[in-house]
Amino acid sequence: MQVQVNTGAHIDGREALTAHVEHEVEAALGRFGDWITRVEVHLSDESAGKAGGHRKCLMEARLAGRQPAAASHESPHLHEAIAGALKKLTRLLETAHGRLDAH
């Protein structure tokens, strides 16, 4: 599984953040094996760097032979936004994978 991280202009610590995101995605979604070909992560600051704003994380999983699955989460803290989007995407993929196994 390939993990691609895209950050907006107002996101700090891109290299360390990219390593953190890659680790979290691999840990949470690695069990899906070859079913996921790539995960694209888009991190942005919805308040354009102003205090008290929201950070947004959008994750899109590219699935082998299927339509992509996406989830997003907003939070005042970027790491919470990442964790929230990853949790939603994991649940979505578990449901989709379970449906495939049922057929």
Average pLDDT over residues 14-25: 93
Instruction: Read off the pLDDT band of 103 (50, 70, 90).
Output: very low
Instruction: Read off the pLDDT band of 69 (50, 70, 90).
Output: very high
Rg of the chain, C-alpha, whole Å: 14
Q: Which CATH superfamily is domain 2-102 in?
A: Ribosome hibernation promotion factor-like (3.30.160.100)
Instruction: Read off the pLDDT band of 52 (50, 70, 90).
Output: low
Kindly report, residue by residue over 33-48, the tens digit of the pLDDT. Answer: 888 999 999 999 877 6
**91: amino acid identity, one letter:** R
Average pLDDT over residues 86-99: 88
Other Cβ atoms less than 10 A from the Cβ of 3: the count is: 18
What pLDDT sits at residue 41? Answer: 97
CA distance 12 to 4: 17
What's the DSSP call for residue 69?
A: E
How far apart, in Å, are the Cα atoms of 17 and each of 2, 10, 27, 35, 47?
A: 16, 13, 15, 25, 19
Domain ranges of the chain: 2-102
The gap from C-alpha 80 to its chain's centroid, in whole angstroms, comes to 12
